[in-house]
Chain A
Amino acid sequence: MTDPLQTDPAGQALVAPPGDDPPGDLTYFAFAESKELEPARTSAPSGFSTMPEVLAGRYCIERLLGAGGMGAVYRARDLLAEQYGDPDPYVALKVLNEDFAESPDASAVLYSEFCITRYLRHDNVLRVHGFHVDTSCERAFITMELMRGLTLDKLLCERPLGLPWKELQDIVLPLLDALAYAHACGVVHGDMKPSNVMLSEKGVRLFDFGLGRAEEGVLAGLPHLSRERFNAWTPGYAAPELLEHRQLSACADIYAVACVIYELASGKHPFRHLPSTQARDQHLGSALKPPCHLPRHGWPALRTALAFDAGARAITAGQMRDAFIAPSSWPWRRKIRPSR
């Protein structure tokens, strides 16, 4: 064993003598030619060893953008678009993880996500381009618009004290708008959390409808993701009814988005990232205080949305948005504002 460097109280690194004698047989290759160095190299994504560098003869995988329990998203270059001189031939490409891709209905789940997202046409919902299958590696994948910006979980890391309402409302209002629209279309997101919302140069985008569900009669014929067979959630954002394996409804999205808004407005998750069932059993709801950056008129709405009991969570995304809109922006209020 070698000795580690010891650090003295002043933080100065002290070199401790190693127990080894220096090697005797030294060989030098001072004049050997070396290859030109390239700027950055990462090792190839190994978990996707069965995945070719170019998918479906068209999408060249460039880098991993994000990954989770079920799928991974890459930045890819659309070689066809590039050939036609497209100034921005980049797309985001989602494939299921190797483990998950092996389950028999994995592609149907991915197709369902594609179909649900395509069904939603809203400025604040990510746009999907297409659903494809690479026949050589037998992997299905979705291509989507590539967003450049930062996800809300990254924003929260950069702004640990939360955001002032002036800034926050530009995120929260479009987000609630997107959610209200999805719910009006009969679609539930099912996995609302900071990392599924992007603040891009083109505005707020809600994405990842991988656990989404279309209500009865909407997108009829589309295989519904069976919650009995495939139950997944993000512990800190899933409503109690989701954790207790009851039917997923828009109400679960309301709880999750309320957690996200609370966190953005205070820097802290309302229930210390605990699963909602645990927070409920510890009666954390009664001790909840309004987040520091939320205007007072928005608190009753947010508090209602954070109710553990789905029945008491009697507020829609649209009603939340309306409650958050600053009274000062109401027309009559503008009229009485003193002139400068």
Chain B
Amino acid sequence: MPVAAHWRSAARTHAGKVRERNEDACLECPEQGLWVVADGMGGHQGGDIASQMIVASLAELPVHENFDDRLIGIRQCLHWLNRRLGQELTVSAGRQDSIIGSTVVALLVEENRAACVWAGDSRCYLWRGQRLYQLSRDHSLQQQLIDERQMNARQARAYPGAHALTRAVGAAEQLTLEVLELEVFPGDAFLLCSDGLYQGLSSDALGRALNLALPAMALERLFDDALRGAARDNLTAVVIRG
């Protein structure tokens, strides 16, 4: 039986206006109640491989299990990928920069339960009752400066290397995933996106797009808005609506 048959979604990824390669990847499985965005680590060779491995592996997970087992399955899969992209990677002598990594944000929905699993700075937003909530907290230096040194967002953004990730799949021997579980209400809309999309948009713009009734319309609005800007990074979004 489809676990989230009433969910509609739309997904899109775009290289942006500057970058030649698109190292983002996304997964859209409304029938299975699973959506994912992964952003291959910029500057590292093989970033696209890392993000593609994440979406391809999560797409193959069994769906017949219950919500809790599926959530465990997602986490186990990401821990395995962390090993695969880290300890199992063949490195060449001539290449100094041999880290292959990716952010991940995954949303699993079944009936009125939802769970968001993430590592890195790809985000999950919730649009509920005409309000926008950021469900995921970035694993980035910028967020760390805000949390630990009480900087405001503007100060933290200006800090050198503020965009550096503090967590990602494949980046360190141990991966720590963050998980947020929540109850889903009728009319909820979710947005999974890479930093390339949200960096260029205000929360007003995100809200206006998510308020549209169809995910495809919301997605079109988000990309129209984002591509009007500089779009220096790859951009990816998945919009999900109950």
Contacts and interface: CB of A to CB of B under 8 A. Distances in A.
Interface of A: 1-5, 7, 13, 15-23, 25-30, 32, 34, 37, 39-43, 45-47, 49, 63-70, 72, 97, 99, 153-154, 156-158, 191, 193-195, 210-211, 230-236, 245, 273
Contacts of B53: 64, 66-67
A165 to B, nearest CB: 23
B45 interface: yes
B203 A63 contact: no
Interface stretch (B84-92, B103-111, B224-232): B84-92
A2 B27 contact: no
A16 B80 CA distance: 34
B119 to A, nearest CB: 16
B135 interface: yes
Contact of B214 (A15, A29, A231, A234): A29
A195 B88 contact: yes
Given A1-B153, A5-B133, A47 B13 contact: no
B76 A158 contact: yes
Given A42-B55, A46-B23, A69 B89 contact: yes
Given A23-B208, A42-B56, A64-B52, A28 B90 contact: no
A274 to B, nearest CB: 11
A69 B98 contact: yes
Contact of A29 (B55, B98, B217): B217
Given A16-B133, A43-B236, 5 more contacts: A13-B180, A39-B31, A43-B13, A43-B26, A235-B91
A5 B135 contact: yes
Contact of A22 (B55, B84, B207, B216): B207
Interface string B167-211: 000000100000011100000000000000000001110111001
Nearest to A46: B22
Contact of A40 (B59, B92, B93): B59
Interface in B30-77: 30-32, 45-46, 48-49, 52-53, 55-56, 59-60, 76
Contacts of A7: 180
B86 to A, nearest CB: 9
B32 A42 contact: no
Contacts of B83: 153, 156-157
Contacts of B27: 40-43
Contacts of B137: 4
Contacts of A154: 80
Contacts of A156: 83
B132 interface: yes
Closest 5 CB pairs of A and B: A47-B48, A22-B130, A231-B93, A46-B22, A64-B56
A97 B49 contact: yes
B216 A42 contact: no
Given A5-B134, A17-B131, A37 B25 contact: no
B113 interface: no
Which residue, A1, A13, A40, A97, has most C-beta atoms of chain B within 10 A?
A: A40
Which residue, B13, B28, B137, has most C-beta atoms of chain A within 10 A?
A: B28
Nearest to A155: B80
B100 interface: yes
Contact of A2 (B9, B55, B134, B180): B134
Given A26-B211, A153-B84, A97 B52 contact: no
B44 to A, nearest CB: 11
Contacts of B93: 231-232, 245
A318 to B, nearest CB: 26
Contacts of B151: none
A23 B203 CA distance: 10
Nearest to B234: A46
Given A64-B56, A273-B173, A40 B28 contact: yes
Nearest to A68: B90
Contacts of A25: 208
B204 A23 contact: yes
Given A16-B133, A18-B133, A47 B125 contact: no
